């Protein structure tokens, strides 16, 4: 059974929308190591179309430019990239493909295969669906110390309940918290009298 990890940049008030507009002032070596550590054991990347388009529009050029991040760009290019979309796609970035079938069914089959880890970066809608299906083993949230208050896209929508357990947390020098969550059983719902009894203990 392959391990699936997901990483997201997120504001302290839960916004994951357009991280390019607010993330970069908080990027340092610690965050670079955290991001690289998610990719290093993986041989497969999962994407939604929007995030894929963003990656494909940047990383092949960085690899070709041969700058300081060319090594990481090459590593991304060498990985198998599976892109989920409701419309037919054409690819120019190598090792990219669009699967047939529903997302949860496809990822369930991938998880059962032999191979390295599977990881996601961004792709909020894909992460949501896989969390609700219980397919993500580790959710890495890089919580930035900024409240955006802009009504942007949030990781979790109203009405969804996804119980999680905290696996680890690390504070970066920038104030970013690297929190790692795993799946958990839903907590027992206490009645009013039971809750009062617990508080009194």
Closest by CA to 126, choosing from 1, 4, 3, is: 4
Each residue's pLDDT tens digit, 109-161: 999 999 999 999 989 999 999 999 999 999 999 999 999 988 789 998 777 78
What pTM was computed for the model?
0.88
Question: Three-class SS of residue 7?
Answer: strand
pLDDT on residue 160:
74
Q: Which residues of 84-95 are buried (b: 16+ CB within 10 A; e: fewer)?
A: beeeeeeeebee
Task: Please report where in the chains the tokens 């699967």 appear, as a residue.
Answer: 99
Question: Three-class SS of residue 124?
Answer: helix
C-alpha atoms less than 13 angstroms from C-alpha of 74 in its C-beta half-sphere? 8
- Percentage of the chain with pLDDT > 70? 92
User: Could you tell me whether strands 117-121 and 42-48 are parallel, antiparallel, or unpaired per DSSP bridges?
Assistant: parallel
């Amino acid at each position: 059974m392959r391990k699936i990890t997901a990483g997201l940049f997120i504001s302290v008030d839960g916004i994951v929308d357009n991280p390019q507009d607010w993330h970069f002032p908080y990027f340092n070596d610690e965050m670079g190591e955290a991001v690289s550590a998610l990719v290093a054991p993986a041989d497969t990347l999962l994407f939604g179309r929007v995030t894929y388009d963003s990656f494909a529009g940047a990383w092949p050029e960085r690899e070709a430019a041969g700058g300081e991040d060319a090594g990481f760009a090459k590593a991304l290019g060498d990985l198998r990239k599976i892109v989920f979309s409701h419309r037919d796609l054409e690819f120019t970035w190598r090792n990219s493909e669009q699967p047939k079938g529903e997302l949860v069914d496809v990822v369930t089959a991938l998880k059962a295969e032999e191979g390295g880890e599977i990881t996601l970066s961004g792709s909020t809608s894909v992460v949501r669906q896989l969390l609700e299906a219980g397919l993500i083993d580790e959710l890495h949230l890089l919580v930035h110390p900024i409240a955006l208050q802009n009504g942007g896209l949030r990781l979790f929508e109203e009405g969804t309940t996804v119980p999680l357990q905290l696996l680890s947390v690390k504070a970066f020098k920038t104030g970013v918290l690297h929190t790692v969550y795993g799946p958990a059983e839903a907590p027992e719902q206490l009645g009013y009298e039971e809750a009062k009894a617990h508080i009194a203990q």
